[in-house]
Amino acid sequence: MSGPTLSDVADAAGVSYATADRVLNNRGNVAQKSIAKVREAVDRLGYVRNVAAANLSRKRVYRLAFLIPSGPNAFFNRLRAHITALAQHLSVDNVTVEIVDVSAFSVEALHDSIGQLTGYDFDGVAIVGLQNDQLEQPLADLRAHGVPIIGLVSDLPVALRSAYIGIDNMVAGRTAARLTGMAHANRTGAIQTFAGALDARDHAERLQGFRDVIAADFPKLSVLDPILTKDDPAVLYDAACTALQTNPSISAIYNVGAGNVGLIKAISEIKDTRPFSVIHELVEHSKQALITGHVDLVIDQRPDVEVSRAFALLRALIDQRDMPPMPALMPTIFVQDNLPADTLNDPMEAQVK
C-alpha cells in the first residue's frame, strides 16, 4: 500500500539501515560498492522518501525569500499580496516567507540584495530578475550554498537558476495582436503602441510578437512605432492625448508596459468613439477600466498562479523531489465579463473571504 521504507531498502540491499541512510543523505564514508547496492535496491523497490516523516524528524522549515521590485507598480503589489496570502496558508506546512524589496529595475540594487541573501540562510529563493552579467557573481555564491533559485516574472541569467516561472512575452504580444486584429473585422486601421523602454526585454518581446501577428495575418492594419513612456502615468497621459489628437486614423491602442492609469485617463477623455484598447496586467485600475468600458482587453499573466507555482516548485527543489506537472503559463485574456471577483489591491480584504 504505502511504499517500502528505508529499512526495506537496507534489507534488500543487504546492508544495515545506517549504511542505507548514509547513502541517501550522502553523509560520506561509504564504499562505492555499498552505494551501488543501495542505489540498485532503491530503484528496484521504487523507494521514495516519505517527506512528511523526514520533515517531522528533522523539524524542517522551509525558509523562502522572494525578491520583488518595490515602488508603486500595481502589478508587483498584487504579486506581493498573493505571496503573503498564500504564505499564510502554507505556514501549516512549516513554510516561512520573507519578501525582500528591491529598488525597481536597478541592477546594482538587485546585485546587492542577492549578495545579502547569502548571509541569512534561506532554503530557497525566487527572484524577479534581470538579464545581466553583473548578477552572476552573487547568484553563483548563493548556489554554492546549495540554495535553489528560480526566476519569477522576469528571468535571470539562465545558467544560474533552476527554473523560470513566467509567461512567454512574445506569446502575450501575439495574443494581443490576434484579438486586436479580430476586433477590426477586416477594416483598415493604425495601432498606436506604447512601451516603457525597449531595452526592457519583456516590453520588446511583446512588441515583437504583436508586430509579427499583425504583419502576417492582418495586412490592412499598420503598427505605429511605440511611444516610450518609462511606465510613467503622466508621460503616458500626455503622449496618448497628443497622439490621439494628432492622428485621427488611430483605430487601436496597445500598451506593452505599465503606467496605465495615465492611458486610461486619456482614453476616458475622448468624446466620440474611442480606439480599441488593449493593456497588460489585471490590477484594480485596469479592472475598473474594463468595467467602465474604457478598455477592451487586459492581458494578464496570472500572478496568483505564478506564485502558487513558485511555492510548489521551490519546495520540490528543496526536497529534491521531481516536480508536479506544470504546463507552460499562457497569458490570460480578460474582458469585462470574466473578471475574478476578488479585490486586487487590498490583501487584507481578500483574506477576509
Partner DNA sequence: CTCAAAATGATAGACGTATATCAGAAAATG
Partner DNA sequence: CATTTTCTGATATACGTCTATCATTTTGAG
Q: Does 336 bind a second copy (CB under 8 A)?
A: yes
**Residue 33 CA: distances (Å) to CA of 27, 29, 42, 90, 182:** 15, 12, 14, 41, 66
Residue 266 grid cell: 486619456
Binding-residue pattern over the window 288 to 317 for a second copy, x denoting contact by CB under 8 A? --------x-------x-------------
> Residues 36 to 75: which contact DNA by CB under 7 A?
47, 49-50, 53-54, 56-59
Q: Interface with DNA by CB under 7 A: which range of 4-12, 138-146, 186-194, 284-292?
A: 4-12
Q: Does 207 bind a second copy (CB under 8 A)?
A: no
What is residue 85's DSSP assignment?
A: H
Strand order in the sheet with 297-300: 221-228, 189-195, 250-255, 276-280, 297-300, 332-334
7 makes contact, choosing from DNA, a second copy, none, with CB < 5 to 8 Å by partner type, with: DNA
> Residues 213 to 252: which contact a second copy by CB under 8 A?
213
Q: Are 95 and 87 in contact (CB under 8 A)?
A: yes
Q: Which is nearer to a second copy, 198 or 330 (CB)?
A: 330
Could you give the CA distance from residue 16 to residue 19 in angstroms, rounded to a whole number? 5
Could you give the CA distance from residue 19 to residue 13 in angstroms, rounded to a whole number? 10
33 makes contact, choosing from DNA, a second copy, none, with CB < 5 to 8 Å by partner type, with: DNA
Closest distance between a second copy and the C-beta of residue 27, in Å?
23
**Can you tell me which of 5, 50, 162, 222 binds a second copy, judged by CB under 8 A?**
50
190 makes contact, choosing from a second copy, DNA, none, with CB < 5 to 8 Å by partner type, with: none
Q: Which of 51, 21, 54 is nearest to 38 (CA)?
A: 21
Residue 22 grid cell: 548514509
Q: Which of 129, 125, 123 is nearest to 102 (CA)?
A: 129
The amino acid sitting at 209 is: G
Closest distance between DNA and the C-beta of residue 146, in Å?
13
Strand order in the sheet with 163-165: 95-102, 62-69, 124-127, 149-152, 163-165
Q: Does 25 bind DNA (CB under 7 A)?
A: yes
What is residue 252's DSSP assignment?
A: E
Could you give the CA distance from residue 41 to residue 14 in angstroms, rounded to a whole number? 9
Q: Are 34 and 23 in contact (CB under 8 A)?
A: yes
* Residue 276, H or E segment: strand 276-280
Q: Which of 210, 189, 188 is nearest to 280 (CA)?
A: 210
Q: Which of 203, 293, 200 is nearest to 255 (CA)?
A: 203
Closest distance between a second copy and the C-beta of residue 207, in Å?
15
94 makes contact, choosing from a second copy, DNA, none, with CB < 5 to 8 Å by partner type, with: a second copy
Could you give the CA distance from residue 67 to residue 152 in angstroms, rounded to a whole number? 9
> Residues 130 to 169: which contact a second copy by CB under 8 A?
none
Q: Does 31 bind DNA (CB under 7 A)?
A: yes
**Can you tell me which of 33, 92, 146, 272 binds a second copy, judged by CB under 8 A?**
92
Closest distance between DNA and the C-beta of residue 54, in Å?
3
Closest distance between DNA and the C-beta of residue 141, in Å?
23
58 makes contact, choosing from a second copy, DNA, none, with CB < 5 to 8 Å by partner type, with: DNA
17 makes contact, choosing from DNA, a second copy, none, with CB < 5 to 8 Å by partner type, with: DNA
Q: Kindly list the residues in this chain that would bind a second copy in the complex (CB under 8 A).
A: 1-2, 48, 50-53, 55-56, 59, 61, 85-86, 89, 92-94, 171-172, 174-175, 177-179, 182-185, 187, 209, 213, 276, 296, 304, 321-322, 324-325, 327-328, 330-342, 350, 353
Q: Kindly list the residues in this chain that would bind DNA in the complex (CB under 7 A).
A: 2, 5-7, 14-19, 21-22, 24-25, 28-31, 33-34, 47, 49-50, 53-54, 56-59
